[in-house]
Structure 1
Amino acid sequence: MSAVAEQTLLMEITGTLVQDFPGTTRVDIDAAVRRAYARFDASRIRDFVPLFVEKRARRDPRERCSAALV
Structure 2
Amino acid sequence: MERGEEQLALISVINTLAGRFPGRSRTDVEDAVCEEYSAFNAGPVRGLVPILVERAATKRLEGGLL
User: TM-score, length-normalised on structure 1?
Assistant: 0.89
Deviation at 1:42, TM superposition (A): 1.3
Gaps of 5+ in 2: none
How do 1:47-58 residues align onto structure 2 when only pairs under 5 Å count? Answer: 47-58=47-58
Identity of aligned residues (%): 34
User: TM-score, length-normalised on structure 2?
Assistant: 0.94
Q: Post-superposition, which runs of at least 4 consecutive aligned residues in structure 1 deviate over 2 A? A: none
SS in 1 for 2:64: helix
Greater C-alpha Rg: 1
Gaps of 5+ in 1: 66-70
* Aligned residues: CA RMSD: 1.0
With a CA cutoff of 8 Å and minimum separation of 6, indicate the structure with the bigger relative contact order: 2
Query: Would you say how many aligned residue pairs link Structure 1 and Structure 2?
Result: 65
